[in-house]
Chains A and B, each alone.
Chain A
Amino acid sequence: MEERPISPFLKGTAFVMFLFLLAPVILVVPISFSADNYMSFPPSGWSLKWYAAFFSNSQMIGALGTSTLLALIVTVLSLVIALPASYAIVRSRVFGAEALLAFFTAPLLLPTIVLGLAILIVFAGQGLLGTFHGLVIGHLVVVLPYALRVLTTSLSGLPLGVEEAAATLGASPLTVFRRVTLPLMTPGIVATSALAFLVSFDEAVISLFLTGPRLTTLPVAMYRHVDAQADPLVASISVLLIVMTLAVVLVVDRSVGLGRTFVK
Protein backbone atom coordinates (compact mmCIF):
# COMPACT_ATOMS: atom_id res chain seq x y z
CA MET A 1 0.00 0.00 0.00
CA GLU A 2 1.14 3.54 -0.68
CA GLU A 3 2.36 5.57 2.22
CA ARG A 4 0.53 8.55 3.53
CA PRO A 5 2.67 11.48 4.67
CA ILE A 6 2.40 12.38 8.35
CA SER A 7 1.39 16.01 8.79
CA PRO A 8 3.31 18.18 11.32
CA PHE A 9 0.03 18.69 13.20
CA LEU A 10 -0.47 14.95 13.67
CA LYS A 11 3.19 14.53 14.62
CA GLY A 12 2.89 17.24 17.28
CA THR A 13 -0.36 15.97 18.77
CA ALA A 14 0.87 12.38 18.81
CA PHE A 15 4.05 13.51 20.61
CA VAL A 16 2.08 15.32 23.33
CA MET A 17 -0.23 12.31 23.82
CA PHE A 18 2.76 9.96 23.98
CA LEU A 19 4.17 12.18 26.72
CA PHE A 20 0.87 11.94 28.62
CA LEU A 21 0.83 8.15 28.19
CA LEU A 22 4.40 7.63 29.38
CA ALA A 23 4.60 10.38 32.02
CA PRO A 24 3.65 8.31 35.09
CA VAL A 25 6.01 5.47 34.18
CA ILE A 26 8.90 7.82 33.39
CA LEU A 27 8.38 9.91 36.53
CA VAL A 28 8.83 7.07 39.01
CA VAL A 29 12.49 6.81 37.90
CA PRO A 30 13.67 10.18 39.29
CA ILE A 31 11.43 9.77 42.35
CA SER A 32 13.09 6.46 43.20
CA PHE A 33 16.37 8.38 43.66
CA SER A 34 14.77 10.92 46.00
CA ALA A 35 16.43 11.85 49.29
CA ASP A 36 13.12 13.08 50.74
CA ASN A 37 11.16 11.16 53.33
CA TYR A 38 7.87 11.87 51.65
CA MET A 39 6.96 11.94 47.98
CA SER A 40 7.32 15.22 46.16
CA PHE A 41 8.31 16.13 42.65
CA PRO A 42 10.90 17.36 41.97
CA PRO A 43 12.69 15.91 45.02
CA SER A 44 14.83 18.28 47.10
CA GLY A 45 17.85 15.96 46.91
CA TRP A 46 19.11 12.67 45.52
CA SER A 47 20.07 9.38 47.18
CA LEU A 48 19.83 5.61 46.88
CA LYS A 49 18.21 5.22 50.28
CA TRP A 50 14.85 4.04 48.94
CA TYR A 51 16.50 1.15 47.12
CA ALA A 52 18.23 0.26 50.38
CA ALA A 53 14.87 0.64 52.14
CA PHE A 54 13.31 -1.86 49.74
CA PHE A 55 16.04 -4.47 50.16
CA SER A 56 15.89 -4.20 53.95
CA ASN A 57 12.08 -4.36 54.04
CA SER A 58 11.47 -8.00 54.93
CA GLN A 59 7.74 -7.79 54.16
CA MET A 60 8.35 -6.45 50.63
CA ILE A 61 11.15 -8.95 49.97
CA GLY A 62 8.91 -11.76 51.17
CA ALA A 63 6.15 -10.53 48.85
CA LEU A 64 8.64 -10.36 45.98
CA GLY A 65 9.59 -13.99 46.65
CA THR A 66 5.94 -15.06 46.77
CA SER A 67 5.14 -13.23 43.52
CA THR A 68 8.15 -14.67 41.69
CA LEU A 69 7.48 -18.25 42.78
CA LEU A 70 3.76 -17.83 42.08
CA ALA A 71 4.38 -16.42 38.59
CA LEU A 72 6.84 -19.23 37.76
CA ILE A 73 4.45 -21.97 38.89
CA VAL A 74 1.50 -20.33 37.13
CA THR A 75 3.56 -20.01 33.91
CA VAL A 76 4.56 -23.69 33.92
CA LEU A 77 1.04 -24.85 34.79
CA SER A 78 -0.55 -22.63 32.16
CA LEU A 79 1.72 -24.16 29.50
CA VAL A 80 1.02 -27.69 30.71
CA ILE A 81 -2.74 -27.05 30.68
CA ALA A 82 -3.14 -24.78 27.65
CA LEU A 83 -0.78 -26.56 25.25
CA PRO A 84 -2.80 -29.82 25.04
CA ALA A 85 -6.02 -27.78 24.97
CA SER A 86 -4.82 -25.62 22.07
CA TYR A 87 -3.73 -28.77 20.21
CA ALA A 88 -7.14 -30.36 20.68
CA ILE A 89 -8.95 -27.21 19.58
CA VAL A 90 -6.85 -26.49 16.49
CA ARG A 91 -5.95 -29.96 15.22
CA SER A 92 -8.58 -32.49 16.08
CA ARG A 93 -11.55 -30.45 14.95
CA VAL A 94 -13.46 -31.17 18.12
CA PHE A 95 -17.15 -30.50 17.85
CA GLY A 96 -17.71 -26.78 18.41
CA ALA A 97 -14.03 -25.80 18.62
CA GLU A 98 -14.88 -22.11 18.21
CA ALA A 99 -17.41 -22.24 21.03
CA LEU A 100 -14.92 -24.05 23.25
CA LEU A 101 -12.28 -21.39 22.63
CA ALA A 102 -14.82 -18.69 23.49
CA PHE A 103 -15.81 -20.53 26.66
CA PHE A 104 -12.23 -21.02 27.81
CA THR A 105 -11.36 -17.35 27.21
CA ALA A 106 -14.56 -16.12 28.86
CA PRO A 107 -12.92 -15.38 32.25
CA LEU A 108 -11.11 -12.51 30.51
CA LEU A 109 -14.43 -10.84 29.76
CA LEU A 110 -15.43 -10.84 33.40
CA PRO A 111 -14.21 -7.84 35.41
CA THR A 112 -11.50 -8.94 37.84
CA ILE A 113 -13.35 -7.26 40.70
CA VAL A 114 -16.34 -9.56 40.07
CA LEU A 115 -14.19 -12.63 39.46
CA GLY A 116 -12.16 -11.87 42.59
CA LEU A 117 -15.28 -11.59 44.72
CA ALA A 118 -16.77 -14.76 43.23
CA ILE A 119 -13.59 -16.75 43.91
CA LEU A 120 -13.27 -15.24 47.41
CA ILE A 121 -16.73 -16.45 48.39
CA VAL A 122 -16.19 -20.00 47.10
CA PHE A 123 -12.65 -20.21 48.51
CA ALA A 124 -13.77 -18.92 51.90
CA GLY A 125 -15.97 -21.99 52.22
CA GLN A 126 -13.12 -24.32 51.24
CA GLY A 127 -10.46 -22.83 53.51
CA LEU A 128 -8.43 -21.71 50.48
CA LEU A 129 -8.16 -18.04 51.46
CA GLY A 130 -4.66 -16.85 52.22
CA THR A 131 -3.12 -20.06 50.84
CA PHE A 132 -0.54 -20.39 48.11
CA HIS A 133 -2.46 -22.97 46.09
CA GLY A 134 -5.54 -20.76 46.31
CA LEU A 135 -3.52 -17.97 44.69
CA VAL A 136 -2.24 -20.38 42.02
CA ILE A 137 -5.80 -21.35 41.05
CA GLY A 138 -6.99 -17.74 41.10
CA HIS A 139 -4.14 -16.64 38.84
CA LEU A 140 -4.53 -19.62 36.50
CA VAL A 141 -8.09 -18.53 35.71
CA VAL A 142 -6.90 -15.18 34.35
CA VAL A 143 -3.65 -16.40 32.79
CA LEU A 144 -5.05 -19.45 30.92
CA PRO A 145 -7.17 -17.41 28.46
CA TYR A 146 -4.09 -15.42 27.37
CA ALA A 147 -2.02 -18.62 27.09
CA LEU A 148 -4.72 -20.39 25.08
CA ARG A 149 -5.16 -17.41 22.71
CA VAL A 150 -1.47 -17.07 21.91
CA LEU A 151 -0.93 -20.83 21.60
CA THR A 152 -3.92 -21.46 19.31
CA THR A 153 -2.84 -18.53 17.10
CA SER A 154 0.69 -19.92 16.96
CA LEU A 155 -0.53 -23.46 16.21
CA SER A 156 -2.96 -22.33 13.50
CA GLY A 157 -0.09 -20.64 11.67
CA LEU A 158 2.00 -23.81 11.37
CA PRO A 159 2.32 -25.60 8.03
CA LEU A 160 0.40 -28.85 8.39
CA GLY A 161 2.42 -30.50 5.61
CA VAL A 162 5.52 -31.00 7.75
CA GLU A 163 3.56 -32.87 10.39
CA GLU A 164 1.83 -34.96 7.76
CA ALA A 165 5.19 -35.82 6.21
CA ALA A 166 6.51 -37.00 9.58
CA ALA A 167 3.37 -39.06 10.14
CA THR A 168 3.64 -40.61 6.65
CA LEU A 169 7.21 -41.61 7.42
CA GLY A 170 5.94 -43.60 10.38
CA ALA A 171 6.20 -41.30 13.38
CA SER A 172 3.55 -41.83 16.05
CA PRO A 173 1.28 -38.85 16.84
CA LEU A 174 3.18 -38.23 20.09
CA THR A 175 6.53 -38.28 18.28
CA VAL A 176 5.19 -35.92 15.62
CA PHE A 177 4.09 -33.54 18.34
CA ARG A 178 7.34 -33.81 20.30
CA ARG A 179 9.79 -33.70 17.39
CA VAL A 180 7.97 -31.53 14.84
CA THR A 181 5.08 -29.50 16.24
CA LEU A 182 6.65 -28.46 19.53
CA PRO A 183 9.92 -27.12 18.02
CA LEU A 184 7.91 -25.22 15.39
CA MET A 185 5.84 -23.68 18.16
CA THR A 186 8.83 -22.36 20.11
CA PRO A 187 8.11 -18.67 19.35
CA GLY A 188 4.51 -19.07 20.52
CA ILE A 189 5.64 -20.87 23.66
CA VAL A 190 8.19 -18.14 24.45
CA ALA A 191 5.52 -15.46 23.99
CA THR A 192 3.04 -17.40 26.11
CA SER A 193 5.54 -17.90 28.92
CA ALA A 194 6.48 -14.22 28.96
CA LEU A 195 2.87 -13.09 28.91
CA ALA A 196 1.80 -15.61 31.56
CA PHE A 197 4.66 -14.61 33.84
CA LEU A 198 3.96 -10.88 33.51
CA VAL A 199 0.18 -11.20 33.88
CA SER A 200 0.55 -13.33 37.00
CA PHE A 201 3.32 -11.17 38.45
CA ASP A 202 1.30 -7.96 37.96
CA GLU A 203 -2.10 -9.35 38.98
CA ALA A 204 -3.37 -7.25 41.88
CA VAL A 205 -7.15 -7.29 42.10
CA ILE A 206 -7.84 -11.02 42.43
CA SER A 207 -4.80 -11.36 44.71
CA LEU A 208 -6.20 -8.59 46.90
CA PHE A 209 -9.22 -10.82 47.58
CA LEU A 210 -7.22 -14.02 48.07
CA THR A 211 -4.15 -12.95 50.05
CA GLY A 212 -4.11 -13.05 53.83
CA PRO A 213 -2.14 -11.37 56.60
CA ARG A 214 0.67 -13.92 56.36
CA LEU A 215 0.76 -14.40 52.59
CA THR A 216 0.89 -11.45 50.24
CA THR A 217 2.10 -10.75 46.71
CA LEU A 218 4.24 -7.78 45.66
CA PRO A 219 1.50 -5.79 43.84
CA VAL A 220 -0.81 -6.22 46.85
CA ALA A 221 1.94 -5.17 49.29
CA MET A 222 2.66 -2.14 47.08
CA TYR A 223 -1.03 -1.27 46.85
CA ARG A 224 -1.41 -1.41 50.63
CA HIS A 225 1.71 0.69 51.10
CA VAL A 226 0.56 3.42 48.69
CA ASP A 227 -2.89 3.38 50.28
CA ALA A 228 -1.40 3.92 53.72
CA GLN A 229 1.44 6.37 53.13
CA ALA A 230 3.05 8.50 50.42
CA ASP A 231 6.81 7.95 50.40
CA PRO A 232 9.24 7.04 47.58
CA LEU A 233 9.58 3.36 48.63
CA VAL A 234 7.16 2.10 45.97
CA ALA A 235 9.05 4.15 43.33
CA SER A 236 12.23 2.12 43.82
CA ILE A 237 10.28 -1.15 43.57
CA SER A 238 8.46 0.20 40.50
CA VAL A 239 11.73 0.96 38.73
CA LEU A 240 12.98 -2.59 39.38
CA LEU A 241 9.66 -3.96 38.04
CA ILE A 242 9.79 -1.74 34.94
CA VAL A 243 13.34 -2.95 34.21
CA MET A 244 12.17 -6.56 34.60
CA THR A 245 9.19 -5.96 32.29
CA LEU A 246 11.36 -4.29 29.65
CA ALA A 247 13.80 -7.19 29.81
CA VAL A 248 10.99 -9.70 29.25
CA VAL A 249 9.54 -7.60 26.40
CA LEU A 250 12.98 -7.37 24.76
CA VAL A 251 13.46 -11.13 25.01
CA VAL A 252 10.08 -11.67 23.35
CA ASP A 253 10.85 -9.09 20.67
CA ARG A 254 14.20 -10.75 19.90
CA SER A 255 12.78 -14.26 19.71
CA VAL A 256 9.38 -13.74 18.07
CA GLY A 257 8.85 -10.11 17.18
CA LEU A 258 6.55 -8.02 19.29
CA GLY A 259 4.25 -6.91 16.51
CA ARG A 260 3.40 -10.48 15.57
CA THR A 261 2.70 -11.37 19.19
CA PHE A 262 0.39 -8.57 20.25
CA VAL A 263 -1.10 -7.04 17.12
CA LYS A 264 -2.66 -9.95 15.25
Chain B
Amino acid sequence: MSAGAARAPGGSGQAVAAALLVPIALVNALAFVLPVLNLLRLSFLEALPGGGLGTSYTLDNWTGTLSDVFYLELIWQSVLTSLAITLLALVTSFPIALYLHRSRGRWKTVLLVLVISPLLTSAVVRTYGWIAILADDGLVNNLLAWLGHGGGMRLMFNQVGVVIGLTEILMPYMILALLAGFGRLDPRVEEAAETLGAPPFKVFWRVVVPLTMPGVALGCLLCFVLAVSSFITPKLLGGGRVFLLATEIYDQAIVTLNWPVAATLSMIVLVIFGAALVLYARLLRAVL
Protein backbone atom coordinates (compact mmCIF):
# COMPACT_ATOMS: atom_id res chain seq x y z
CA MET B 1 0.00 0.00 0.00
CA SER B 2 1.33 3.42 -0.85
CA ALA B 3 2.04 6.25 1.54
CA GLY B 4 -0.82 8.13 0.01
CA ALA B 5 -3.37 5.73 1.50
CA ALA B 6 -4.21 8.11 4.31
CA ARG B 7 -4.98 10.80 1.80
CA ALA B 8 -7.00 8.38 -0.28
CA PRO B 9 -6.53 10.08 -3.64
CA GLY B 10 -7.98 8.90 -6.91
CA GLY B 11 -11.33 7.44 -7.95
CA SER B 12 -12.16 5.07 -5.08
CA GLY B 13 -10.92 7.67 -2.58
CA GLN B 14 -13.41 10.17 -3.93
CA ALA B 15 -16.18 7.61 -3.59
CA VAL B 16 -15.23 6.88 0.02
CA ALA B 17 -15.07 10.60 0.77
CA ALA B 18 -18.50 11.14 -0.77
CA ALA B 19 -19.89 8.31 1.36
CA LEU B 20 -18.41 9.91 4.49
CA LEU B 21 -20.24 13.14 3.63
CA VAL B 22 -23.65 11.54 3.11
CA PRO B 23 -24.93 11.74 6.74
CA ILE B 24 -24.13 15.43 7.23
CA ALA B 25 -25.49 16.25 3.77
CA LEU B 26 -28.70 14.43 4.64
CA VAL B 27 -29.22 16.38 7.88
CA ASN B 28 -28.42 19.64 6.13
CA ALA B 29 -30.79 18.94 3.25
CA LEU B 30 -33.71 17.75 5.38
CA ALA B 31 -33.51 20.21 8.26
CA PHE B 32 -31.92 23.27 6.68
CA VAL B 33 -32.15 23.59 2.88
CA LEU B 34 -35.64 22.14 2.49
CA PRO B 35 -37.23 24.09 5.38
CA VAL B 36 -35.68 27.38 4.28
CA LEU B 37 -36.77 26.94 0.64
CA ASN B 38 -40.20 26.01 1.93
CA LEU B 39 -40.26 29.18 4.03
CA LEU B 40 -39.43 31.25 0.96
CA ARG B 41 -42.24 29.52 -0.96
CA LEU B 42 -44.63 30.11 1.92
CA SER B 43 -44.03 33.86 1.83
CA PHE B 44 -45.60 33.81 -1.64
CA LEU B 45 -48.49 31.54 -0.70
CA GLU B 46 -52.00 32.86 -0.30
CA ALA B 47 -53.16 33.07 3.34
CA LEU B 48 -56.73 32.00 4.02
CA PRO B 49 -58.73 33.41 6.94
CA GLY B 50 -58.43 31.30 10.10
CA GLY B 51 -54.80 30.32 9.60
CA GLY B 52 -55.29 28.15 6.51
CA LEU B 53 -53.03 28.10 3.49
CA GLY B 54 -54.18 28.54 -0.06
CA THR B 55 -52.69 26.82 -3.08
CA SER B 56 -52.18 29.79 -5.34
CA TYR B 57 -49.14 32.04 -5.36
CA THR B 58 -49.47 35.73 -4.69
CA LEU B 59 -47.43 38.81 -3.82
CA ASP B 60 -50.05 39.86 -1.26
CA ASN B 61 -47.97 38.91 1.80
CA TRP B 62 -45.09 41.04 0.61
CA THR B 63 -47.09 44.03 -0.61
CA GLY B 64 -49.38 43.80 2.43
CA THR B 65 -46.47 43.75 4.87
CA LEU B 66 -44.45 46.44 3.15
CA SER B 67 -47.42 48.82 2.87
CA ASP B 68 -48.61 48.32 6.44
CA VAL B 69 -47.53 51.22 8.66
CA PHE B 70 -47.26 48.88 11.66
CA TYR B 71 -44.78 46.59 9.93
CA LEU B 72 -42.78 49.43 8.42
CA GLU B 73 -42.46 50.96 11.88
CA LEU B 74 -41.52 47.51 13.22
CA ILE B 75 -38.76 47.03 10.64
CA TRP B 76 -37.45 50.56 11.20
CA GLN B 77 -37.52 50.16 14.99
CA SER B 78 -35.71 46.80 14.76
CA VAL B 79 -32.94 48.23 12.60
CA LEU B 80 -32.58 51.35 14.73
CA THR B 81 -32.55 49.44 18.03
CA SER B 82 -30.02 46.94 16.65
CA LEU B 83 -27.76 49.76 15.48
CA ALA B 84 -27.88 51.36 18.94
CA ILE B 85 -27.08 47.99 20.57
CA THR B 86 -24.19 47.40 18.17
CA LEU B 87 -22.68 50.81 18.90
CA LEU B 88 -23.04 50.33 22.66
CA ALA B 89 -21.56 46.83 22.49
CA LEU B 90 -18.57 48.24 20.58
CA VAL B 91 -17.96 50.99 23.15
CA THR B 92 -18.26 48.61 26.11
CA SER B 93 -16.26 45.77 24.52
CA PHE B 94 -13.32 47.75 23.15
CA PRO B 95 -11.59 48.38 26.52
CA ILE B 96 -11.97 44.71 27.49
CA ALA B 97 -10.59 43.49 24.17
CA LEU B 98 -7.66 45.93 24.27
CA TYR B 99 -6.89 44.95 27.86
CA LEU B 100 -7.01 41.25 26.94
CA HIS B 101 -4.82 41.87 23.91
CA ARG B 102 -2.17 43.52 26.04
CA SER B 103 -2.20 41.22 29.05
CA ARG B 104 -0.06 38.09 29.20
CA GLY B 105 0.22 34.67 30.79
CA ARG B 106 -2.09 32.92 33.23
CA TRP B 107 -4.06 36.09 33.95
CA LYS B 108 -5.00 36.37 30.28
CA THR B 109 -6.43 32.83 30.27
CA VAL B 110 -8.52 33.58 33.35
CA LEU B 111 -9.91 36.74 31.74
CA LEU B 112 -10.59 34.88 28.51
CA VAL B 113 -12.58 32.27 30.43
CA LEU B 114 -14.54 35.13 32.04
CA VAL B 115 -15.34 36.55 28.60
CA ILE B 116 -16.35 33.22 27.08
CA SER B 117 -18.32 31.91 30.07
CA PRO B 118 -21.31 34.24 29.52
CA LEU B 119 -21.34 33.04 25.91
CA LEU B 120 -21.82 29.50 27.17
CA THR B 121 -24.49 30.59 29.65
CA SER B 122 -28.05 30.43 28.38
CA ALA B 123 -29.59 33.71 27.20
CA VAL B 124 -32.53 32.88 29.47
CA VAL B 125 -30.24 32.86 32.53
CA ARG B 126 -28.49 36.10 31.60
CA THR B 127 -31.76 37.85 30.77
CA TYR B 128 -33.12 36.68 34.12
CA GLY B 129 -30.06 38.28 35.76
CA TRP B 130 -30.93 41.54 34.00
CA ILE B 131 -34.48 41.38 35.33
CA ALA B 132 -32.96 41.24 38.84
CA ILE B 133 -30.96 44.38 38.05
CA LEU B 134 -33.56 46.39 36.15
CA ALA B 135 -36.89 45.46 37.76
CA ASP B 136 -38.88 47.97 39.86
CA ASP B 137 -37.63 46.14 42.97
CA GLY B 138 -34.24 45.37 41.40
CA LEU B 139 -30.65 46.33 42.12
CA VAL B 140 -30.60 49.71 40.38
CA ASN B 141 -33.86 51.03 41.82
CA ASN B 142 -33.14 49.77 45.33
CA LEU B 143 -29.66 51.29 45.15
CA LEU B 144 -31.14 54.62 44.05
CA ALA B 145 -33.70 54.48 46.87
CA TRP B 146 -30.95 53.66 49.37
CA LEU B 147 -28.96 56.65 48.15
CA GLY B 148 -32.06 58.75 48.70
CA HIS B 149 -32.90 59.33 45.09
CA GLY B 150 -36.33 57.77 45.24
CA GLY B 151 -35.87 54.95 42.73
CA GLY B 152 -38.99 53.93 40.85
CA MET B 153 -37.24 54.24 37.50
CA ARG B 154 -38.84 52.25 34.71
CA LEU B 155 -35.95 50.25 33.28
CA MET B 156 -37.84 47.18 32.09
CA PHE B 157 -40.70 46.43 29.74
CA ASN B 158 -39.44 49.21 27.50
CA GLN B 159 -36.76 49.93 24.91
CA VAL B 160 -34.19 50.85 27.58
CA GLY B 161 -34.21 47.41 29.19
CA VAL B 162 -34.03 45.62 25.85
CA VAL B 163 -31.05 47.73 24.73
CA ILE B 164 -29.13 47.27 28.01
CA GLY B 165 -29.77 43.53 28.17
CA LEU B 166 -28.97 42.78 24.54
CA THR B 167 -25.81 44.90 24.64
CA GLU B 168 -24.45 42.73 27.43
CA ILE B 169 -25.64 39.50 25.82
CA LEU B 170 -23.76 40.36 22.59
CA MET B 171 -20.56 41.70 24.16
CA PRO B 172 -18.66 38.36 24.12
CA TYR B 173 -19.14 38.10 20.34
CA MET B 174 -17.86 41.65 19.91
CA ILE B 175 -14.87 41.02 22.20
CA LEU B 176 -13.85 37.84 20.33
CA ALA B 177 -14.23 39.56 16.93
CA LEU B 178 -12.17 42.55 18.12
CA LEU B 179 -9.47 40.26 19.51
CA ALA B 180 -9.27 38.40 16.22
CA GLY B 181 -8.82 41.73 14.42
CA PHE B 182 -6.19 43.14 16.80
CA GLY B 183 -3.41 41.19 15.10
CA ARG B 184 -2.30 44.23 13.10
CA LEU B 185 -1.87 46.30 16.23
CA ASP B 186 1.91 46.63 16.52
CA PRO B 187 3.15 48.25 19.77
CA ARG B 188 6.12 49.65 17.86
CA VAL B 189 3.82 51.85 15.77
CA GLU B 190 2.21 53.23 18.90
CA GLU B 191 5.62 53.85 20.41
CA ALA B 192 6.71 55.64 17.26
CA ALA B 193 3.72 57.96 17.53
CA GLU B 194 4.55 58.63 21.17
CA THR B 195 8.18 59.32 20.40
CA LEU B 196 7.03 61.83 17.83
CA GLY B 197 5.14 63.64 20.57
CA ALA B 198 1.53 62.45 20.26
CA PRO B 199 -0.48 62.57 23.51
CA PRO B 200 -2.14 59.26 24.65
CA PHE B 201 -5.59 60.14 23.34
CA LYS B 202 -4.19 61.06 19.95
CA VAL B 203 -2.22 57.79 19.78
CA PHE B 204 -5.43 55.92 20.53
CA TRP B 205 -7.58 57.82 18.05
CA ARG B 206 -5.12 58.16 15.17
CA VAL B 207 -3.14 54.91 15.50
CA VAL B 208 -4.96 52.26 17.55
CA VAL B 209 -8.49 52.80 16.21
CA PRO B 210 -7.62 52.80 12.46
CA LEU B 211 -5.49 49.67 12.87
CA THR B 212 -8.33 47.81 14.57
CA MET B 213 -10.98 48.70 11.97
CA PRO B 214 -11.19 45.17 10.46
CA GLY B 215 -12.02 43.73 13.88
CA VAL B 216 -14.44 46.57 14.58
CA ALA B 217 -16.25 45.98 11.30
CA LEU B 218 -16.51 42.23 11.90
CA GLY B 219 -17.73 42.72 15.47
CA CYS B 220 -20.33 45.25 14.37
CA LEU B 221 -21.62 42.99 11.61
CA LEU B 222 -21.90 40.07 14.02
CA CYS B 223 -23.65 42.09 16.74
CA PHE B 224 -26.02 43.77 14.34
CA VAL B 225 -27.29 40.56 12.73
CA LEU B 226 -27.56 38.85 16.12
CA ALA B 227 -29.45 41.84 17.55
CA VAL B 228 -31.93 41.94 14.65
CA SER B 229 -32.71 38.26 15.06
CA SER B 230 -32.57 37.80 18.83
CA PHE B 231 -35.79 36.78 20.47
CA ILE B 232 -35.47 35.62 24.10
CA THR B 233 -34.05 38.85 25.56
CA PRO B 234 -36.37 41.35 23.81
CA LYS B 235 -39.36 39.16 24.65
CA LEU B 236 -38.56 38.86 28.37
CA LEU B 237 -37.16 42.37 28.95
CA GLY B 238 -39.67 43.98 26.60
CA GLY B 239 -42.56 42.23 28.31
CA GLY B 240 -44.67 42.28 25.16
CA ARG B 241 -44.50 46.07 25.01
CA VAL B 242 -41.48 46.30 22.71
CA PHE B 243 -42.23 45.15 19.20
CA LEU B 244 -39.32 43.92 17.13
CA LEU B 245 -39.04 41.73 14.03
CA ALA B 246 -38.01 38.55 15.86
CA THR B 247 -40.74 38.76 18.51
CA GLU B 248 -43.32 39.50 15.82
CA ILE B 249 -42.21 36.46 13.78
CA TYR B 250 -42.77 34.27 16.82
CA ASP B 251 -46.16 35.79 17.63
CA GLN B 252 -47.36 35.48 14.03
CA ALA B 253 -46.20 31.86 13.86
CA ILE B 254 -47.33 30.60 17.28
CA VAL B 255 -50.09 32.92 18.49
CA THR B 256 -51.81 34.19 15.35
CA LEU B 257 -50.87 31.15 13.24
CA ASN B 258 -50.39 33.40 10.23
CA TRP B 259 -47.51 31.47 8.69
CA PRO B 260 -47.28 33.39 5.40
CA VAL B 261 -46.78 36.68 7.24
CA ALA B 262 -44.27 35.05 9.63
CA ALA B 263 -42.45 33.66 6.57
CA THR B 264 -42.44 37.06 4.87
CA LEU B 265 -41.07 38.77 8.00
CA SER B 266 -38.37 36.06 8.21
CA MET B 267 -37.36 36.78 4.62
CA ILE B 268 -37.21 40.50 5.46
CA VAL B 269 -34.79 39.64 8.30
CA LEU B 270 -32.66 37.77 5.75
CA VAL B 271 -32.77 40.76 3.39
CA ILE B 272 -31.54 42.99 6.24
CA PHE B 273 -28.77 40.41 6.86
CA GLY B 274 -27.78 40.64 3.20
CA ALA B 275 -27.70 44.42 3.32
CA ALA B 276 -25.51 44.35 6.44
CA LEU B 277 -23.14 41.93 4.72
CA VAL B 278 -22.83 44.12 1.62
CA LEU B 279 -22.18 47.15 3.81
CA TYR B 280 -19.54 45.16 5.75
CA ALA B 281 -17.75 44.10 2.55
CA ARG B 282 -17.67 47.72 1.34
CA LEU B 283 -16.43 49.00 4.68
CA LEU B 284 -13.70 46.38 4.77
CA ARG B 285 -12.53 47.30 1.28
CA ALA B 286 -12.45 50.97 2.31
CA VAL B 287 -10.30 50.43 5.41
CA LEU B 288 -7.90 47.77 4.13
Contact with B along A30-44 (1 / 0, CB 8 A): 010000001111100
Q: Please tell me which one of the listed residues B32, B226, B228, B250 contacts residue A107 in the complex, with CB atoms under 8 A apart.
A: B32
Q: Give the Cβ gap from B48 to chain A, nearest Cβ, in Å.
A: 15
Q: Is the CB of A204 within 8 A of B123?
A: yes
**Of all chain B residues, which has the CB nearest A4?**
B187
Question: Do B229 and A94 touch across chains, with their CB atoms under 8 A apart?
Answer: no
Flag if B135 contacts A17 (CB, 8 Å).
Answer: no
**Which B residues are CB-close (under 8 A) to A119?**
31, 35
A160 within 8 A of B: yes
User: Out of A1, A82, A148, A226, which one reaches B128, CB within 8 Å?
Assistant: A226
With contacts A14-B99, A20-B92, A141-B32 taken as known, whether A167 is within 8 angstroms of B1 at the C-beta atoms is: yes
Cβ–Cβ < 8 Å partners of B262 in chain A: 117
**Are B113 and A253 closer than 8 Å at their CB atoms?**
yes
Note all chain B residues with C-beta closer than 8 A to A3. Answer: 102, 104, 187
Interface residue A54 (Cβ < 8 Å from any Cβ of B): no
Interface status of A242 (Cβ within 8 A of chain B)? yes
Question: Which of A45-53, A185-193, A227-235 lies at the interface?
Answer: A227-235
> Whole-angstrom distance between the alpha carbons of A92 and B112 in the complex?
35
Query: Interface 1/0s, chain B 16-55, versus A by CB < 8 A?
Result: 1110110111011011101110110010000000000000
Q: Which residues of A contact B139 (CB under 8 A)?
A: 27, 41-42
| A10 x B5 contact (CB < 8 A) | no
Give the CA-CA distance A151 to B108 in the complex, in Å: 25
The docked-state distance in angstroms from the alpha carbon of A3 to that of B107 is 15
Say yes or no: is B129 at the interface (Cβ < 8 Å to chain A): yes
Q: Does B109 contact A (CB under 8 A)?
A: yes
Interchain nearest-CB distance for A158 vs B (Å): 10
* Given A41-B139, A92-B9, A117-B249; A263-B96 close (CB under 8 Å): no
Tell me which residues across on chain B come within 8 A of A24, comparing CB atoms. Answer: 125-130, 132-133, 165, 168
A107 touches B137 (CB 8 A): no
| In the complex, chain A residues whose CB is within 8 Å of the CB of B132 | 24, 27-28, 31, 39, 41, 235
| Interface pair B124/A120, CB less than 8 Å apart | no
Cross-chain pair count, CB within 8 angstroms? 310
Q: Please tell me if the beta carbons of B176 and A263 are within 8 angstroms of each other in the complex.
A: yes
Q: Which residue of B is nearest A114, CB measured?
A: B266
Q: Give every chain B residue within 8 A of A38 (Cβ-Cβ).
A: 137
- Is B121 at the interface (CB under 8 A from chain A)? yes
Hey, what's the 0/1 contact readout for B197-234 against A, CB within 8 Å counting as 1?
00010000000000000000000000001101111100
Q: How far is the CA of A24 from the CA of B16 in the complex (A)?
A: 49
Interface residues of A, CB < 8 Å — how many? 105
Determine if B113 and A249 form an interchain contact, defined as CB atoms under 8 angstroms apart: yes
Chain B, 78-115, contact with A by CB distance < 8 Å: what is the 0/1 string?
Answer: 00000000000000110110110011100011011111
CB proximity of B128 to chain A, nearest CB, Å = 5
Q: Is A65 an interface residue, CB under 8 A from the partner?
A: no
- Is B120 a contact partner of A92 (Cβ separation < 8 A)? no
Contacts of A249 in B (CB 8 A): 113, 116-117, 120
- Closest B residue to A12 using CB positions: B95
Q: Give Cα A248–Cα B36 distance, bound, in whole angstroms.
A: 33
Q: How far is the CA of A85 from the CA of B23 in the complex (A)?
A: 8
* Residues in chain A near residue B127, CB distance under 8 A: 24, 226
A160–B5 CA distance with the chains assembled, in angstroms: 11
Report B44-79 CB contacts with A as 1/0, cut-off 8 Å: 000000000000000000000000000000000000
Q: Does B7 contact A (CB under 8 A)?
A: yes
Chain A positions within 8 Å of B263 at CB level: 117, 121
Known pairs A14-B99, A144-B24, A249-B120; list 4 more (Cβ under 8 Å): A21-B96, A28-B125, A114-B270, A118-B35
A interface residues with partner B (beta carbon < 8 Å): 1-7, 9-11, 13-14, 17-18, 20-28, 31, 38-42, 80-82, 84-85, 87-89, 91-95, 100, 103-104, 106-107, 109-115, 117-122, 137-138, 140-141, 144, 148, 160, 163-164, 166-168, 170, 172-173, 176-177, 181, 198, 202, 204-205, 208-209, 219, 222-223, 226-227, 230, 234-235, 238, 241-242, 245-246, 248-249, 253, 258-259, 262-264
